[in-house]
């Protein structure tokens, strides 16, 4: 069919047919309306001339299919439009699933959303075993549901509990895990992927049968599975804030995974989801994330060697993360005894992540203890992550400048000292930038890349490229007290702790923030960060005022939060022991959020970030600010009554 623009059809002499998706004019495959219409036309042809077997693959280096076209989704203006979009994919994939010839999806690279649902509609799936292969149904992250058959077919294929976990979390599977769960029939290296697909699609192999227990969980025990899943969802997402996960449970439990079958007047219907402001704001967050991903693109800086000075929790975890992303890392501290704990923590992290002792050994080979600091001479990027002392950082970086390559990036991970003050010790202050990670490094996606008054723009570009290289979201910020994230968090946490000083229980304070939509209450957050760190963060901002009394008393007694087993809460196996509490008093959530939102506005006004969208992106990914609200500046725009909060 030469008239197809996005798909190529290639028939072999034995009747095996390859259908290659290669979206015209795009670097990634997305299932736009015209691409779906062409797929339907291809199925029309195969209905007239059935292939011996059909293999669907990608013609893009970037991956298999990134999912539906988000641009088209944002243009839907009504619930009727949303239903029409779901109907199109539901009908087309049901048709693909019902064809009388064998079909196979050859998955290499990212396979997301509608791409995963297309793969589920095929009889077989081959996943290519390489780092870029990631398979997910991430619709819940956009406030929507897998409406093209994912809720129907995934539980039948791998069993309800793992299927619901995948759909409710949006987390991705790698190729090996996809094979272990039964999503993929085969997991093969790239060199044999086409032969593996060719052999499997015509093999006549019967479909994988679910074990008896999994069949029971999808039948007589379905209500038990839903109740368990609902309890887990309720721990991290309230129905009034995030309706999509509850809709997924209802659609699977009561409507066979058919989103179109839910009555329009139900809170879990497609109509309700389409009207929800959560969906609009989560799509906004998706675009904010894409903008952050764009920083660091386009240059030719490709760092391979990182040198980290300071093997404490932060420095050691930065080193371990970079190793997992393929870099060679030299880790420096005063002696090998100080480096050893970081190596042990890294080995544990590698085992959890890689689950392959050979790969763990390879990773550990790239993490090199370096008490003499010789790695600084060869590194592309040097990051100091020592304790927050100006003279110590100045002396250290001056020594590194003397031996480092002239084109190497020199960076400080400082969170409380002015970059300009540190740079005064350098012969070339322009070389110094900030690369500020957040704790815990493995969980926090954001990294602030800080521009000092004299920082060289080329060094900043390299810093952004480095952050992108290690799969973090880079946020460019100007040097200012607290940069963006800490500048916003500190007054919020201080206000929360003043509430405790006034006699309000920590549990009540945290509940007020949770009711606003924050993922973690400010008191528990302070305990998690460390109360000593909270004190330092408060001191770096002149507007924070006198530190809260209870906070100082706990720090003086050595009770620093989760890491010492006691802070505002007592911790048992890392979990805070909280008393049950009722609803927080009216106005408490507003009181907590007022300094948070006012600080965000001040950062925009002061030019710490270049615009309000970047402020929203940084605060969401750096603090966890309620994503369904679209960011603090977006919240201020959508809630005129909160405009007075801008002034604190």
User: What is the set of active-site residues?
Assistant: 415, 436, 448, 486
Please, are residues 325 and 468 in contact by the beta-carbon 8 Å criterion? no
Q: For residue 335, what are its two tokens? A: 């002696």
Question: How many other C-beta atoms can be found within 10 angstroms of the C-beta atom of residue 195?
Answer: 10
Residue among 504, 545, 498 at smallest CA distance from 526: 498
Rg (alpha carbons) of the chain, rounded to whole number = 26
Please, are residues 39 and 92 in contact by the beta-carbon 8 Å criterion? yes
- The phi-psi region of residue 642 (left if phi > 0; otherwise alpha if psi is between -120 and 50; otherwise beta) is alpha
* Token pair 């069993």: residue: 159
CA distances (Å), origin 178, targets 173, 182, 543 = 6, 6, 51
The torsion angle over the Cα atoms of residues 452, 458, 460 and 464, rounded to 10 degrees, is 180
Say which residues have a Cβ less than 8 Å from residue 380's Cβ, sequence separation at least 6.
Answer: 301, 303, 304, 305, 306, 405, 408, 409, 466
Say which residues have a Cβ less than 8 Å from residue 638's Cβ, sequence separation at least 6.
Answer: 277, 629, 630
Tell me how many degrees the CA angle 406-411-413 measures, rounded to the nearest 5. Answer: 165
Tell me how many degrees the CA angle 48-54-60 measures, rounded to the nearest 5. Answer: 120
CA distances (Å), origin 18, targets 365, 369, 380, 550, 553 = 42, 50, 44, 68, 70
The torsion angle over the Cα atoms of residues 203, 96, 150 and 445, rounded to 10 degrees, is 80
* DSSP code string of 85-154: HHHHHHHHHHHHHT-SS-EEEEE-SEEETHHHHHHHHSSEEEEE-STT-EEE-GGGGGT---TTTHHHHH
How far apart CA 272 and CA 243 sit, in angstroms, is 9
How far apart CA 590 and CA 513 sit, in angstroms, is 9
In the three-class reduction of DSSP (H, G, I as helix; E, B as strand; rest coil), residue 576 is classed as strand
- Is it true that the peptide bond before 440 is cis, omega within 30 degrees of 0? yes
Please, are residues 26 and 34 in contact by the beta-carbon 8 Å criterion? no
Q: In this structure, are strands 186-188 and 124-128 parallel, antiparallel, or unpaired?
A: parallel
Distance of CA 189 to the CA centre of its chain: 26
Please, are residues 390 and 414 in contact by the beta-carbon 8 Å criterion? no
User: Please, what is the end-to-end C-alpha distance for the chain in angstroms?
Assistant: 64
């Amino acid at each position: 069919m030469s008239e197809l623009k996005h798909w190529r059809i290639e028939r072999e002499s034995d009747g095996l047919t390859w259908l290659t998706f290669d979206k015209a004019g795009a670097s990634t495959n997305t299932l736009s309306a015209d691409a779906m219409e062409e797929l339907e036309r291809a199925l029309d042809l195969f209905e007239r001339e059935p292939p011996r077997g059909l293999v669907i693959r990608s013609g893009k280096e970037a991956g298999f299919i990134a999912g539906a076209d988000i641009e088209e989704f944002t243009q839907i203006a009504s619930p009727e439009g949303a239903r029409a979009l779901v109907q199109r994919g539901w009908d087309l994939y049901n048709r693909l699933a019902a064809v009388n010839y064998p079909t196979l999806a050859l998955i290499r690279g990212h396979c997301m959303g509608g791409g995963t649902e297309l793969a589920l509609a095929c009889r077989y799936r081959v996943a290519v075993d390489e780092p870029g292969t990631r398979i997910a149904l991430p619709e819940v992250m956009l406030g929507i549901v897998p409406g093209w058959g994912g809720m129907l077919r995934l539980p039948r294929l791998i069993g309800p509990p793992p299927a619901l976990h995948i759909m409710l979390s949006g987390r991705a599977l790698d190729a090996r895990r996809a094979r272990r769960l039964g999503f993929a029939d085969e997991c093969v290296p790239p060199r044999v992927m086409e032969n593996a697909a060719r052999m499997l699609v015509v093999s006549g192999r019967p479909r994988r049968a679910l074990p008896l227990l999994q069949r029971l969980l999808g039948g007589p025990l379905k209500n038990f599975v839903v109740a368990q899943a609902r309890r887990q969802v309720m721990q991290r997402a309230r129905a009034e804030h995030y309706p999509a996960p509850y809709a997924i449970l209802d659609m699977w439990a009561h409507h066979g995974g058919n989103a179109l079958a839910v009555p329009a007047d139900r809170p879990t219907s497609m109509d309700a989801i389409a009207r929800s402001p959560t969906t609009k704001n989560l799509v906004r967050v998706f675009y904010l994330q894409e903008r952050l991903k764009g920083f660091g693109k386009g240059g030719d800086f490709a760092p391979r060697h990182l040198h980290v000075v300071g093997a404490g929790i932060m420095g050691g975890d930065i080193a371990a993360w970079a190793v997992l992303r393929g870099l060679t890392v030299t880790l420096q501290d005063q002696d090998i005894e100080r480096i050893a704990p970081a190596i042990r923590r890294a080995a544990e992290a590698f085992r959890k992540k890689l689950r392959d002792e050979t790969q763990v050994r390879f990773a550990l080979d790239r993490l090199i203890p370096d008490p003499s600091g010789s790695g600084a001479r060869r590194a592309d990027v040097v990051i100091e992550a020592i304790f927050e002392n100006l003279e110590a950082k100045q002396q250290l970086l001056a020594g590194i400048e003397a031996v480092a390559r002239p084109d190497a990036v020199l960076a400080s991970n400082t969170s409380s000292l002015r970059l300009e003050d540190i740079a005064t010790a350098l012969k070339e202050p322009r070389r110094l930038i900030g690369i500020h990670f957040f704790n815990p490094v493995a969980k926090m996606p954001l990294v602030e890349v800080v521009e000092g008054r004299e920082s060289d723009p080329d060094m900043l570009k390299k810093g952004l490229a480095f952050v992108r290289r290690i799969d973090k979201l880079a946020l460019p910020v100007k040097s200012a007290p607290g940069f963006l994230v800490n500048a916003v968090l500190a007054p919020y946490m201080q206000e929360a702790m003043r509430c405790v000083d006034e006699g309000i229980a920590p549990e009540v304070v945290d509940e007020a923030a949770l009711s606003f939509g924050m993922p973690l209450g400010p008191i528990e957050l302070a305990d998690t960060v460390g109360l000593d760190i909270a004190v330092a963060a408060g001191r770096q901002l002149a507007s924070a005022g006198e530190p809260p009394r209870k906070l100082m008393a706990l720090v003086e007694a050595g009770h620093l939060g989760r890491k010492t087993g006691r802070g505002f809460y007592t911790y048992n196996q890392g979990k805070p022991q909280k008393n049950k509490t009722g609803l927080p008093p009216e106005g408490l959530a507003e009181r907590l959020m007022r300094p948070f939102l006012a600080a965000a506005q001040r950062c925009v006004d002061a030019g710490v970030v270049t615009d309000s969208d970047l402020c929203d992106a940084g605060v969401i990914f750096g603090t966890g600010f309620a994503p369904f609200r679209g960011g603090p500046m977006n919240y201020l725009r959508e809630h005129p009554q909160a405009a007075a909060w801008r002034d604190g």
